[in-house]
C-alpha cells in the first residue's frame, strides 16, 4: 500500500513541477484511451480504494481543457508541454483543485475535493494509448 501511495504522490509532484515548462503551441486536441491501474481516496476519516478497479476512460486534451469520463471536472486548465514532450496541467475550481501529468503512456491525476466539512484527496494512475 505504501508503494502505491508513493507512486501516486510522485506523479502529483511531477505535475506540480514548473522548471521545465514551455508554452503550449501546436499539440492541441490529443486523444488517449486509458485504463485505470490504481485509484485511492484519502481523508482525515481514512482511505478507500475502489471495489471495481480497472475502469476504461477516453481522455481528450485541448487548448485549456481536459475531458475524461468522470475524472476531470473543472472548466479550464493551465496546460504545459515540457521540453521532453510530457504534459503537465493544473486547475482550481470552487469545489476541487486538480493536477495531472502525462508521461510515457501514463496519466497521473490528483484532485483535492472540497466536501461540506472536509477535504478528500483522490488520486488515479492510468495506462494510456494515444489515439491519432
Domain CATH code at residue 72? 2.40.160
Domain limits for position 25: 2-131
Q: What is the DSSP-derived secondary structure letter of residue 63? A: T
pLDDT in tens, 34-81: 999 999 999 998 999 877 779 999 999 998 999 998 899 999 999 999
Q: Kindly state the cell numbers that stand for 73.
A: 471536472
Percent of the chain with pLDDT over 90: 65
**pLDDT at residue number 22:** 41
Nearest to 78 by CA among 86, 87, 69: 87
**pLDDT at residue number 51:** 75
The total number of structural domains in the chain stands at 1
pTM, full prediction:
0.77
**pLDDT at residue number 63:** 86
Per the CB < 8 A criterion, the answer to whether 98 and 27 are in contact is: no
Q: What is the maximal distance between C-alpha atoms in the chain?
A: 44
**pLDDT at residue number 25:** 43
Confidence band, pLDDT 50/70/90 cuts, at residue 18: very low
**pLDDT at residue number 27:** 59
Q: Kindly state the cell numbers that stand for 32.
A: 488517449
Residue 101 has pLDDT above 60, yes or no: yes
Amino acid at each position: 500500500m505504501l508503494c502505491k501511495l508513493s507512486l501516486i504522490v510522485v506523479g502529483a509532484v511531477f505535475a506540480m513541477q514548473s522548471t521545465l515548462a514551455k508554452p503550449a503551441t501546436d499539440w492541441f486536441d490529443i486523444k488517449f484511451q486509458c485504463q485505470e491501474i490504481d485509484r485511492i481516496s484519502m481523508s482525515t476519516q481514512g482511505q478507500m480504494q475502489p471495489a471495481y478497479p480497472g475502469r476504461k476512460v477516453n481522455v481528450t486534451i485541448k487548448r485549456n481543457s481536459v475531458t475524461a469520463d468522470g475524472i476531470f471536472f473543472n472548466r479550464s486548465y493551465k496546460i504545459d508541454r515540457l521540453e521532453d514532450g510530457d504534459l503537465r496541467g493544473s486547475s482550481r475550481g470552487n469545489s476541487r483543485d486538480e493536477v495531472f501529468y502525462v508521461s510515457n503512456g501514463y496519466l497521473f491525476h490528483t484532485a483535492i475535493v472540497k466536501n461540506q466539512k472536509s477535504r478528500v484527496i483522490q488520486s488515479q494512475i492510468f495506462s494510456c494509448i494515444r489515439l491519432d
